[in-house]
Each structure stands twice: as structure tokens, then as C-alpha cells.
Amino acid sequence: MSSWAAIIVEGAEGKLRAFVAGFLAGRQLPSTSVAFGCDLRLEHASLTERLRALLTGGHHLLLAPPELAPALREAIARGGPDVGLHAAGQHDISEAWFDIDATVYARDVAQTIRGVLAAVPHGARLEAYEEHEEVQPEYKAIELYTPVHDYRYRIHVRVIGAVGGVLAIRRELDRIEAVQLSPLHLRDGPLPTSASQEPGAPRKL
Amino acid sequence: MQQAGSVADLGTLLPVWSALPFVGMLLSIAVLPMLAPRVWHHRYPAITAAWGLLFALPFAARFGDVALHELLQVALVDYVPFLVLIATLFTIGGGIHIRGSVRGTPATNAAIMGIGSALASLVGTTGAAMVTIRPLLRANRFRRHRAHTVVFFTFLVANVGGGLTPLGDPPLFLGFLHGVPFFWTLRLWKHVLVCAAVVLVVYVLCDLWQWRREDGVARQRHAAEEEPLRIEGAINLLLLLAVVAAVGGSGLWHGKALRVLGVYETTGNALRDLVLLAILVLSWKLTPDSVRAANAFSWAPIKEVGILFAGVFVTMIPAVVMLRAGEQGALACVVRTVDSPAHFFWASGLLSSFLDNAPTYLTFLSTAVGRLFPGAPESQGIARLILEHPEFLVAISTGSVFMGANTYIGNAPNFMVKTIAEEAGVPMPSFFGYILRYSVPVLVPTFAAMTWIFY
């Protein structure tokens, strides 16, 4: 099993997005096959850097799976300069992780979160799993001046592991407005040999 | 302290600290739901009673019959009609349910907010919010970004929209009970229109930006959205017209004077309250249970209003009479501080942002009367205020109604909307998040512009 690659590209973000969209469409692959670092809150640029990037383009990070990374880098090297894009480097990513925090008062939303976390993709695992569910029927009524929820679900967990699996679960969770996702963290290097650990046991908050 | 010879003397005799239970009462409503929600939930009747008795017992012991008369006056002229109207509008609002769903595009959301805002002046901000928040949430259930929509809904439907009639927001109904004509508030239409239009335009721009950030799943048309809209419990719309007629009619026809326990009332007002109670019963009988269940209707909010406002109205007595005494009263410093319509707009508004807006309105109405017509009986003072300086009443009305939107605690339905939205999975901003991310950038500049335009 090969590692995902982080490809650093110089140029305007809009052009890069269009380029990658064309690349994936040509291979009839879904748009989620390659991830943009800025969508994962990966790039922590200062305001000055962001302004400079806006005016002159900037550095962007693409995360590509092992089966696509060489072809994508080659395509950027070959066709990129025509539209102002230049591959500035590449390195392997062994692991990625992010933290999830949520406090929700809707049972169906809590169920959705649990459902997503129960189906962790291969290669990803859950750590520091803390959850707490509270049901208090005496607070059922919706009130004006003394509002207290009759249901509350809190969860904190870290999703860690192979980049593909971590990104897949992050996409699912990102659709849930009540879930707070931390920036994605990457660990450089080749894949560790024992990447598939069991998820941590749930713990009360 | 001297012995009070009459009710009018109270304003000059009461010391400033006699208003402390009022401050405590309002701060309890404002702060305890956040600091100690469960204690407040269980103990608010006892806390309310404590503040009320802390004022009422020494007041009655010191001023005897005059104090009892003032307490009865507040109970019969303010509290009972206030509670009857709120309960009736709440029962009617809780009997109207919009079933079906539309697609939560920026245009659809703006339309729902526009309709809700218009409805607010008829059924009250609480009723309008209760009727329209669930269709709005259903329309947006596929969207990833919804919190901003609920916040702007709170601004418009739960606050600004209620500015056109005494039915719209409790402060204006209290004004009506104290002699402001029913249709006088219609002259606020320019203020309501400007404020609502600005906020709605900002919302549409904000939602267009958020709409572009939604993924394809949210922006696609879903088969589940195709259920056509229909109104259930439509009989309540007719009953609503009856409420308008009953309240408006009591302002036009006063009937004979009645003396109840030494307090003067009119047969017109008594008839209005009886008719409202009859409408409440009719609404309850004629609305199918399924409609009320769909609105998650319960009497809990009316119980809250009944208990809390008993405390508010009792503890409010010293503040109101001291302010009405103008520079002769112990709160002369307050009366001197606010001297222009802009001052009244911001002072009543800022206090309404953090304390309940109904008592705030009455407090500043008394301040204006005390400043402009010191010592005048309330009915004469308000009549002269409307005739000679209506701009002050406009400022107090708009400040109290609009600026209740500034925080979650500014107006009762704000919390209700927040709770319903959270239980539908929307992560609402925190208390300070609401202020810093929405009120300060959207509402404060709007109110500043209104000050420049109108005051």
C-alpha cells in the first residue's frame, strides 16, 4: 500500500481548481478524488500572504492518492505552465488526523454523527473517544424565559490514520453543521507498518 | 419619608433604592437562564415571588391604602389585560401550522422572513415566530449553513416585524393600555420598513454567499421537498381578525366607567378582555390536536409569562412613579440624562437589548412624560406627548421593539427561536457570538443610520 502525496503547486487557486477538475473529468473520477489543502483548513496563511496570493497567485497544496499522484504531477508539469501553474514540490504523507467536537440537541443529528463514526473507513481509526448523552423529559416544553433542552449529546473524538479514510470521514462529517472540525494535520513520511489499530473505547465526557 | 397623601405623591417620596427589586427582577430574567439554567427553570416562580414581595411588603406596610391601590391598579389595568392578550395570541399562533416544504434558497428564505415579519404585527412576534420558524427550518434541512438564517429570522420576525400594531410586541400593547391609540403605531411604518428592508437585503447578500458554499447535495432539488404548502388551523386566521377588532374596538369605544376594588376601569376594556378570553377558548376548541402537536404547543410559555410578569409589574411600580415625577423624583438624574428623541431611541433600545423590552418601554415612556410634563397625571401626560412631541414616543417605541433583537435576552421569542433551531440540529451562536458576529455588524449600523434619518 503506497502513501498519499502532497503536491505543492504555485499559481492562482481558481486556475488550479479548474485544472484539477479537468484532470479528474478526463479520467471520469469524482471531484473528491483530489483534496485541496485550503478546503481542509490546512493552509495557515497570514493576511499579507493571502493578499499576495490573491494578487499574484500563491502556493497551494493538493492531496492525491497514490494511484493518481504521479499522473497529476506530470499533468501539472506538462500543461500547468500554459495557465500559470507550476509544481513546486511533492512529499509523501503517512498519516492524517483531525479532531471533532459537537454539542447537539437533536436526536437525529446525534444519530447521524454516530452513524458516520460507526462506519470508519479502512485505515482510519478513532482515538480519545468521549461522548455523553443526556435525556431529561421534564425539560420537554419549548419555553420563552426558562429554556432548557430535554436532550443533549456531546462528543469529542480524533480521527486518525490513512489519508484516504480520514478524508472520507471528514467529508461526511463536514456536511453536519453542528460538528466542529479542527484543521487537518498531516504527518510526512512513508506509511507506518502497523497503521490499522483498533478504535479507542468510548469514554464519558 | 413623609406620609403619602395620594398616588401622585409616591413619585416624590419613594427612595431610589426602592427600584432595586425591579433591577433584580430584570437581571434575573436576563442572566439566570444562562448562568444557572436548571436552577432558574425550577426556581423562577420562587425567585419572582421573592423580588415581588421584597418590594410589595414594605411598600404596603409604609404606604397603606395608597400602596394597595397602586398594586391593584397595576394588576387590573396592566397585568390582567397584558396576560389575556398574550395568551390569546399565543393560543391562536399555536393553532396555525404550515405543512409542506419549499426549497431553502436565498429567495425562499427571504420570502418566509418577509411573510413572518408582516404576520408579527398581527399575531405578535412570539406567535409569528412559532408559526414560521418550522417551515423555515424544513426548507433548509438539506443545507450545511443555516445558523445565519435563523439569526436574521430572529431579527426580523421575532422583533422588527412586531413594530406596527399593539398586537405585535408587548411594549406597544402596554403603551395601548396606557393610552396610546391603537392605530397610532401605524405611523411607525417608515421605521419598520427601512429597518426590515436593510436587514433583509443584508440577509440575502449573506445567504447568497453561503448558498454558493453549499455542496451540490444541498443545492439540488430533492423529491422530499415537493410537498406543497398548506395552512392547517386556518380558522385561527379568522379569530385573529376578531382579536384585532376586539382590541382596536376597545380603543375606540370606552363605554361606562367601572370601579373595581377602588380602581377605575371602563366597560370597553372589560368587554375586550372577556371577548379575548372567548376567542382563546374558541381557538382551543376549534383547532385539531394534530395542529397543536405539530407546533409542539404547550402552555408552559404562558405560565412563564404569567409568573414572571406578575413580578415585573409589581417591582416596576417605584421606577415608573419616580420617573413620572420628573425632576421632583429620586430618579431625576435619569430624567435629565435623556433629553432628545435620539437619546430615548438608544437608551430604551440598549436597555431593551439586555432587559425585557416591555418594562423598558414603560420606564422610558414615564421618563419622557416626567421630563416634558412633570407632575401631570399619566393619561394627560401621554395624550400631550402624542400631540406635542410624538417624536419621543416614536423613538421609545422603535428603540424598545427593534433593539430587542440585539441579544438573545432582549425579547422573549429570541430564546424560543434559538431553542427550536437547536433542537432541529442548527448550531446557534453563543450569547456573545450572536452579538459580535451578527448584532454589531448588522443591527448597530442599521440603527445608527436610522438615528441619522429619523431622529
What end-to-end distance do the CA atoms of chain A give, in Å?
36
Task: Name the closest residue on chain B to residue A103, using Cα atoms.
Answer: B427
Q: ∠ CA A5-A11-A13 to the nearest 5 degrees?
A: 80
Alpha carbons A150 and B302: distance in angstroms, whole number: 19
Question: Is the pLDDT assigned to residue A101 strictly greater than 90?
Answer: yes
Domain identity same for A187 and A133:
yes
Averaged pLDDT, B110-129: 92
- Residues in A touching B419 (Cβ below 8 Å): 105, 142-143, 147, 149
In Å, how far from its chain's centre is CA B165?
A: 11
Q: Could you please report the per-residue DSSP string of B78-116? A: IIHHHHHHHHHHHHHHTT-EEES-----HHHHHHHHHHH
B113 vs B305: which has the higher pLDDT: B113
- B445 Cα to chain A: minimum distance (Å): 25
Distance (Å) of CA A48 to CA A44, A68, A86, B101? 12, 33, 22, 45
Confidence of residue A199 (pLDDT cuts 50, 70, 90): very low
Domain identity same for A10 and A111:
no
What the block records as the C-alpha cell of A134 is 443526556
Looking at residue A120, the DSSP 8-state letter turns out to be P
Confidence of residue B1 (pLDDT cuts 50, 70, 90): very low
pLDDT at position A201: 42
Please state, rounded to an integer, the average pLDDT across all residues of chain A: 83
Q: How many CB atoms lie within 10 A of CB A20?
A: 23
Provide the number of structural domains found in chain A. Answer: 2
Question: Is the pLDDT assigned to residue A196 strictly greater than 60?
Answer: no
What the block records as the C-alpha cell of B277 is 378570553
SS3 B455: coil
pLDDT digits (tens, 9 = 90+) for B195-225: 999 999 999 999 999 998 887 766 776 555 5
Averaged pLDDT, B318-325: 84
Asked which of A170-179, B164-173, B255-264 is least confident by mean pLDDT, the reply is B255-264
Residues 6+ apart with CB under 8 A from B424: A106, B134, B137, B141
Task: Name the closest residue on chain B to residue A176, using Cα atoms.
Answer: B144
pLDDT at position A198: 41
Averaged pLDDT, B281-310: 91
CB nearest A177 (choices: B41, B146, B215): B146
SS3 A8: strand
Looking at residue B188, the DSSP 8-state letter turns out to be G
Pairing of strands A4-11, A58-64: antiparallel
Inter-chain contact B412–A144, Cβ cutoff 8 Å?
yes
A194 vs B135: which has the higher pLDDT: B135
Confidence of residue B26 (pLDDT cuts 50, 70, 90): confident
Asked which of B16-20, B162-166, B242-246, B357-361 is least confident by mean pLDDT, the reply is B357-361
- B33 Cα to chain A: minimum distance (Å): 6
- Residues in A touching B143 (Cβ below 8 Å): 177
pLDDT at position B58: 94
pLDDT at position A190: 58
Domain identity same for A30 and A72:
yes
Confidence of residue B326 (pLDDT cuts 50, 70, 90): confident
- B326 Cα to chain A: minimum distance (Å): 32
Residues 6+ apart with CB under 8 A from B338: B344, B347, B364, B367, B371
| Count of helices and strands (H, E) across chain A | 5, 9
Domain identity same for A49 and A113:
no
Best mutation site among B219, B415, B417, B431 for testing chain A: the one with the most A CBs within 10 Å?
A: B415
Pairing of strands A185-188, A86-104: antiparallel
Confidence of residue B107 (pLDDT cuts 50, 70, 90): very high
Q: Which residue type sits at B108?
A: T
Confidence of residue A51 (pLDDT cuts 50, 70, 90): low
- B114 Cα to chain A: minimum distance (Å): 23
Question: Is the pLDDT assigned to residue B397 strictly greater than 90?
Answer: yes
- Residues in A touching B44 (Cβ below 8 Å): 145-146
pLDDT at position A197: 40
Which CATH number does the domain housing residue A42 bear? 3.30.70
User: By the 8 A CB rule, do B132 and B157 touch?
Assistant: yes
SS3 A191: coil
Helix H or strand E encompassing B168? none
Asked which of B79-83, B334-338, B357-361 is least confident by mean pLDDT, the reply is B334-338
Tell me what percent of the residues of chain B surpass a pLDDT of 90: 53
Averaged pLDDT, B141-158: 94
Asked which of B175-179, B220-224, B278-282, B365-369 is least confident by mean pLDDT, the reply is B220-224
pLDDT digits (tens, 9 = 90+) for B29-86: 888 888 888 899 889 999 999 999 999 999 999 998 899 999 998 898 889 998 999 8
- A106 Cα to chain B: minimum distance (Å): 5
Q: CA-CA-CA-CA torsion for B374, B378, B384, B387, nearest 10 degrees?
A: 140
Domain identity same for A86 and A114:
no
Domain identity same for A55 and A18:
yes
Q: Looking at chain B from residue 416 to 435, which residues have their Cβ under 8 Å from any Cβ of chain A?
A: 416, 418-420, 422-427
A47 touches chain B (CB under 8 A): no
Best mutation site among B309, B419, B420, B430 for testing chain A: the one with the most A CBs within 10 Å?
A: B419
Provide the residue range defining the domain that includes A149: 95-204
Domain identity same for A123 and A192:
yes
B413 touches chain A (CB under 8 A): yes
pLDDT digits (tens, 9 = 90+) for B234-271: 999 999 999 989 998 888 888 888 787 777 888 888 99
pLDDT at position A100: 94
Alpha carbons A6 and A29: distance in angstroms, whole number: 19
Domain identity same for A140 and A103:
yes
Radius of gyration of chain B (CA): 22
Domain identity same for A28 and A62:
yes
Question: Is the pLDDT assigned to residue B394 strictly greater than 60?
Answer: yes
The pTM (predicted TM-score) of the whole model is: 0.83
Question: Is the pLDDT assigned to residue A54 strictly greater than 70?
Answer: no
What the block records as the C-alpha cell of B107 is 429567495
CB nearest A148 (choices: B29, B37, B416): B37
Q: CA-CA-CA-CA torsion for A170, A174, A179, A185, nearest 10 degrees?
A: 40
Residue at a domain's end among A93, A125, A160: A93
Helix H or strand E encompassing A197? none
Domain identity same for A26 and A79:
yes
pLDDT at position A1: 53
Confidence of residue B10 (pLDDT cuts 50, 70, 90): confident
- Residues in B touching A103 (Cβ below 8 Å): 427
B437 vs B362: which has the higher pLDDT: B437
Domain identity same for A122 and A81:
no
pLDDT at position A48: 64
Residues shown for chain B: 455
Question: Is the pLDDT assigned to residue A45 strictly greater than 60?
Answer: no
Question: Is the pLDDT assigned to residue A41 strictly greater than 80?
Answer: no
Averaged pLDDT, B401-416: 89
Helix pair B341-354, B357-372: axis angle to 10 deg? 150
Averaged pLDDT, A134-159: 86
Residue at a domain's end among A93, A124, A156: A93
Question: Is the pLDDT assigned to residue A104 strictly greater than 70?
Answer: yes
Inter-chain contact A139–B41, Cβ cutoff 8 Å?
yes
pLDDT at position B276: 96
Alpha carbons B171 and B398: distance in angstroms, whole number: 10
Best mutation site among A109, A143, A170, A172 for testing chain B: the one with the most B CBs within 10 Å?
A: A143
pLDDT at position A130: 93
Asked which of A90-94, B52-56, B237-241, B426-430 is least confident by mean pLDDT, the reply is A90-94
Residue at a domain's end among A58, A73, A93: A93
pLDDT digits (tens, 9 = 90+) for B179-189: 899 999 999 99
- Burial readout B17-43 (b: 16 or more C-beta within 10 A, e: otherwise): ebbbbbebbbebbbebbeeeeeebbee
Q: How many CB atoms lie within 10 A of CB A136?
A: 13
A14 touches chain B (CB under 8 A): no
Question: Is the pLDDT assigned to residue B4 strictly greater than 80?
Answer: no
Looking at residue B442, the DSSP 8-state letter turns out to be I
Averaged pLDDT, B332-356: 86
Instruction: Tell me whether residue B69 is exposed, middle or buried, using C-beta atoms within 10 angstroms of its C-beta: 0 to 12, 13 to 18, 19 or more.
Output: middle
pLDDT digits (tens, 9 = 90+) for A57-74: 678 889 999 999 999 999
Domain identity same for A189 and A178:
yes
Alpha carbons B395 and B451: distance in angstroms, whole number: 9
- Residues in A touching B416 (Cβ below 8 Å): 142-144, 147
Looking at residue B74, the DSSP 8-state letter turns out to be I
A175 touches chain B (CB under 8 A): yes
